[in-house]
Each structure stands twice: as structure tokens, then as C-alpha cells.
Amino acid sequence: NIASWMIPNKLVKGMGGAMDLVAGAKNIICTMTHANKHGESKLLNECNLPLTGVGCINKVITDLALLEIKDGAFHLLECAPGVTIDEIKAKTAGNLVISDKVKTMSFE
């Protein structure tokens, strides 16, 4: 699920188009920071804001990792360079599945 809502008391330049984008797309990749400025996970078991889209996200790319969403869990595919699996575990509140084949991201 995804909720793309403004944070109270923060300036927003427009409505955006997230609802339009998630309504009919078949492959949605969300890019975001893994945690907020206090280090709290943004990857949760359950969304606590009004939903923009339900069950529509396929993959999430954060500053720490590449994750695939399936079967109600975040499946860790790749870690960012210099990031440990333990750091990703600590900053992921949602159900995290870690295989023994996790790669480090490569930028060529």
C-alpha cells in the first residue's frame, strides 16, 4: 500500500498525481528514504495514513536497499554500498525477508 500525503504544517506546491499514477499501472517502483529524520522506519506493517493506493507497489528503492514486495513482506534484494543487513533490519518495521543471496548494489 502507499500513502502519499503531506506532512501537517509543511508547504506543498501542488496536489501531485499519485492517485492517477497508481490507479492503472501494473509495475510501480517507489523511491523513498528508508527512515525519517529521527531514524524511525517508513517501511511499516500497516499504513497509518489514508491510502493513495492499495496493494499497488512492486518494488521499493531506498537510500539503504532495493526491496521487492510480495506475500505481504519486504524481500531484501540488494543493499546499498556500505550498508549492512543489520542496519536494514534495524530500520525496517515491516516484515522483512532476507535470503542468503542478497547482493550489493552496483552502479556502472
Q: H helices within the chain, ranges in order?
A: 18-24, 85-90
Give the Cα separation of 77 and 14 in Å (integer).
34
Write down the pTM of the prediction.
0.80
pLDDT tens across 21-58, in order?
Answer: 667 778 888 899 999 999 999 999 988 777 777 788 89
- Looking at the chain, the whole-number percentage of residues with pLDDT higher than 90 is 57
Three cell numbers at 14?
501542488
